[in-house]
Amino acid sequence: MKKWIAAGFVMMLMLCFGKIESIKAAEQKVYQFDFGSGSVEPDYIGVRASDRYNTSKGYGFQTPEHMKDVAASGTGVKSDAVQFLAYGTKSDNTFNVDLPNGLYEVKVTLGNTARASVAAEGVYQVINMTGDGAEDTFQIPVTDGQLNLLVTEGKAGTAFTLSALKIKKLSDQPVTNRTIYIGGDSTVCNYYPLNSSKQAGWGQMLPQFMSKNAFQVRNMASGGQFARGFRDDGQLEAILKYIKPGDYFILQLGINDTNPKNNETEAEFKEIMRDMVRQVKAKGAEAILSAPQGRATDFNAAGEHTALNRWYRASILALAKEEQTALIDLNVLSSSYFTSIGPEKTLALYMDGDTLHPNRAGAGELARIVAQELKKLGVNGF
């Protein structure tokens, strides 16, 4: 009888204080972690930088000696964070969570940071999250009973911090939903906050034109990226780890490849792009090439927008034909649209004082055009 009373008393304490010391007691569908030395939000598990992983509680930092508690400027879970002092996609300075095998949705909330990426299982998951308290979500299959995650370099010399994680189980099957992966540069990539940023890339806006039940979109594009960098610096690696038959990979590069500082000739660009296309096809997925749109000011004397000779477009078209790969000629398609609305309205779709980077409205129009072409190509869900 005394044992039952004692057990009941312990349970009452746990309910009253909302503190869960272990996630091992039973399989859960949602796990929430609040990082830092401040107060812990209701329904969250508090985690300090000094909390080392052990098998009894099922979560913690692999190497807490390389972690630090820091303040953050937000409220609630965003009021504090932990900083990763050691990082890199292959680093073992990870936050580990024991999870039953399956497919999970992970929501990441960063602390104060200029630009940081999220890695898990040794590859990038989210590229270049910017701004204090930035949030993003990704799917990840767990196949070895544990998630290993860290925040890593987006911009050298800045702090890489984590305020909160929400991990939700989607399926017992450790396979991602059908996915459209996107590779590209600053005209394609995500900007934060995702739902309200003034600047946007068309990859960020593409989900608005899709059925959520058909595909998820994983935008792995990043500002300043060129073909060799995308292939060799971890972004393609992340895609190849998960891409599978039934998935698509849309690849749009060329703008930064023409910049002399990247030391990449057009012939080299074409062969690197070919290599990426073939690696994706070897996984049983479909590759789609896209030719970048021109500048807002690419109007001729007749009032026609044309940018046919920009960004190695000729090599992109030739490669699509040689590799029998689907093509979205966003260059021509966007020019047709810009011609129809005229120079003034076209300029209004770009960032102020910037003729290259679309604003949110401009990115939305480019995404609409891409979605229309995907539908024409027979990709369902648009």
Specify whether the CB–CB gap between 303 and 340 falls below 8 A: no
Task: Provide CB contacts within 8 A for 247, sequence distance 6+.
Answer: 178, 179, 180, 181, 285, 286
| Residue ending a domain, choose from 114, 146, 171 | 171
Of 137, 154, 171, the domain-final residue: 171
What is the Cα–Cα distance from 104 to 237, expressed in whole angstroms?
20
Non-local CB neighbours of 213 within 8 Å, separated by 6+ positions: 381
Convert the pLDDT of each residue in 212-233 to its tens digit.
889 999 999 999 999 999 999 9
pTM tops 0.85, yes or no: yes
Give me the pLDDT at residue 254, please: 98
Same domain flag for 154 and 191: no
E strand map for the chain: 30-35, 45-47, 59-61, 67-71, 80-84, 95-98, 102-109, 115-120, 123-130, 135-142, 146-153, 161-162, 164-171, 179-183, 216-219, 248-251, 286-290, 326-328
CATH code for the domain in which residue 185 is found: 3.40.50.1110
Q: Is residue 2 part of a domain?
A: no
In this structure, are 153 and 99 located in the same domain? yes
Do both 183 and 105 map to the same domain?
no
Residues facing residue 126 across a β-bridge: 118
133 and 163 Cβ atoms separated by less than 8 Å = yes
Residue finishing a domain among 171, 201, 230: 171
Do 103 and 226 have their domain in common? no
Task: Examine residue 334 and state whether it is found in any structural domain, yes or no.
Answer: yes
Query: Structural domain tally of the chain?
Result: 2
Residue 3 belongs to a domain: no
Q: So what's the pLDDT on residue 8?
A: 44
In a shared domain, residues 123 and 244: no
- Indicate whether 216 and 296 sit together in one domain: yes
| Judgement on whether residues 82 and 205 belong to the same structural domain of the protein | no
- Dihedrals phi, psi of 117, to nearest 5 degrees: -115, 160
Q: Is 88 helix (H, G, I), strand (E, B) or coil?
A: coil
Q: Tell me: do 67 and 154 sit in the same domain.
A: yes
Query: Looking at this protein, which amino acid is placed at residue 141?
Result: P
382 found inside a domain: no
**Each residue of 234-280: pLDDT tens digit?**
999 999 999 999 999 999 999 999 999 999 999 999 999 999 999 99
Q: What is the pLDDT of residue 27?
A: 62
Residues 216 and 363 in one domain: yes
Residue 231 is assigned to a structural domain of this protein: yes
Which amino acid type is present at position 359?
A: N
Instruction: Tell me if 247 sits within 8 A of 180, measured CB to CB.
Output: yes
Distances in Å between the alpha carbon of 227 and those of 124, 151, 280? 17, 24, 15
Query: Considering the domain boundaries, does residue 344 fall inside one?
Result: yes
What's the distance, Cα to Cα, between the start and end of the chain in Å? 63
340 and 197 assigned to the same domain? yes
Q: Write out the catalytic residue numbers.
A: 186, 354, 357
Q: What is the CATH number of the domain that holds 108?
A: 2.60.120.430
CA angle 164, 166, 172 (to 5 degrees): 155
Q: Are residues 108 and 217 in the same domain?
A: no
In the chain (382 residues long), the average pLDDT of successive 10-residue segments reads 40 39 65 98 98 97 98 97 98 98 98 97 98 97 98 93 98 96 98 98 96 93 98 98 97 97 97 98 98 98 96 98 98 98 98 98 98 94 74
Range of the domain at 128: 8-171
By CB neighbour count within 10 A (0-12 exposed, 13-18 middle, 19+ buried), where does 16 fall? exposed
Question: Looking at the structure, do residues 198 and 97 belong to the same domain, yes or no?
Answer: no
